[in-house]
Copies of this chain bind each other. A is one copy, B any other.
Amino acid sequence: MISRILAADLPTHVGSHVRLAGWLHRRRELKSVSFLVMRDRSGLAQIVLREPVQLAEETVVEVTGTVAANPQAPGGAELVDPVIEVLSSPVESPPFDLYRPVVAGALPTVLDHAPVALRHPRLRAPFEIAAAGVAGFRAALDGLGFVETSTPKIVASATESGANVFGIDYFGKPAFLAQSPQFFKQALVGVFERVYEVGPVFRAEPHDTARHLAQYTSLDAELGFIHDHRDIMAVLTHALTGMHAAVTERAGTATALLEIDVPKVPEEIPAIHFTDAQELLARHTSEDPRGEPDLAPAHERWLGEWALREHGSEFLFVTGYPMAKRPFYTHPDPARPEYSRSFDLLFRGLELVTGGQRLHLHADYVTALAGRGEDPEAYRGYLKAFAHGMPPHGGFAIGLERWTSRLTGAANIRQTTLFPRDLHRLSP
């Protein structure tokens, strides 16, 4: 049997006898001729029929035939004199036509039928971009000597805040799904100095919004022997540069299909201190946010536009957020202890990444927890790493689905999640 070739490779096989395999994407019957359009993982192939066939869309077929040049066919080549073998016939029709340029179904319908809906090239494309981005993230950090790790998703206590944690019955004992690998990645700085993890994190988000998920993929990194948060920002910039480069390199078909530009990550992403950002907003907008402990979404949008206008950058670091709004493990700015050595990275006016320097001295943890009225004893396992000598360190976490969603312009984060989990959705 001759080897299978992909639809995208037809143009380089003109004159040859080849075998294709894929899904019947569309039938087209014109007055004088009938076509099948077959879809495989590489794209579409046009097949010219001698006589019409009665096959339903999504029938899985294997087609042998001869490749002929035809400037009117997609890619400039088509298959003629085909012999079609049916590998599998659908028993149900898709809830919407997969061959139309845009899916006609509403988002809930699309999500309910994800196994078939995702076959639509435009719905599939974001995930090819996500896969490329993750590969770029890993390659960038591997190049800096990071070690990839796998840490527990079942934990004895909440890592971030007790509010949005899923409970689990662990052999009769209460346990929780990890909201982040925060404590583990910090402990592992003591082992590998530089670690990253790409894995699921869980948030029992009671909010039914376009940007909250109960499970998402977190790209976590943590590194030791830093001077301050700016070393983290430099590594993050490097990682994002790798992600965007990998998308350009590996997901060109998907970005072309979605007609999106992959923005260049500046060599140095502009950064503004939280207080300076508030000053800017007070001076140039009708609001005066000075004194507030955080930035409102509208402020982030304004700052995003400002960064593009003033610095030509779609990215902006906001640094030095007030300690009051950051987790207890955040390192304060020694010069202004009410502000932190942390940052958010805004991408097109929306928070994409949070990161910063962490405390590294055992005594500082005990003080910080006590200052927030928390019992250090509850954090005993976590504090152990710091009892044994930890270097100054910090890290960041990128939400993969959020990044993909920003990059592709998706209106809802569920469009960049294969099988989203939320307040109302537990299947498929």
List residues of chain B with CB within 8 A of the CB of A350: none
Q: What chain B residues lie within 8 Å of A149 (beta carbons)?
A: 127, 131, 418
B60 near A418: Cβ-Cβ < 8 Å: no
Inter-chain CA distance A150–B419, complex, in Å, is 9
A125 to chain B minimum Cβ distance, whole angstroms, is 11
Comparing A168-176, A257-265, A304-312, A323-331, the segment that makes contact with chain B is A168-176
Q: Provide the main secondary structure of the chain A interface.
A: mixed
Residues of B within 8 A of A148 (CB): 131, 134-135
Q: Is the CB of A171 within 8 A of B423?
A: yes
Interchain CB contact under 8 A, B115 and A388? yes
List chain B residues, Cβ under 8 A from A167. 168-169
Residues 316-336 of A, flagged 1 when their CB comes within 8 A of B and 0 if not, give: 000000000000000000000
Residue of B nearest to A177 (CB): B168
Verify A184–B419 contact, CB threshold 8 A: yes
| Residue in contact with A190 in the complex, picked from B89, B115, B171, CB distance below 8 Å | B115
With A152-B215, A202-B154, A215-B152 known as contacts, the answer to whether A60 contacts B188 (CB < 8 A) is no
Contacting residues of chain A (130-176) with chain B, CB-CB under 8 angstroms? 130-131, 134-135, 138, 142, 145, 147-156, 166-171, 173, 175
Copies of this protein in the complex? 2
CA distance A68 to B175 in the complex (A): 53
- Contact code string A73-111 (vs B, CB < 8 Å = 1, else 0): 000000000000001111110100000000000000000
Q: CB within 8 Å of B: which residues of A?
A: 4, 21, 23, 40-41, 58-60, 62, 87-92, 94, 113-116, 118-119, 124, 127-128, 130-131, 134-135, 138, 142, 145, 147-156, 166-171, 173, 175, 177, 184, 187-188, 190-194, 198-200, 202, 204, 206, 214-215, 217, 225, 360-363, 381-382, 384-385, 387-392, 400, 418-419, 421, 423, 426-428
With A88-B360, A88-B389, A171-B423 already in contact, 14 other A-B pairs whose C-beta atoms are closer than 8 Å: A21-B225, A41-B194, A91-B363, A115-B190, A116-B385, A118-B188, A130-B150, A150-B217, A154-B202, A154-B426, A168-B169, A171-B214, A184-B419, A381-B427
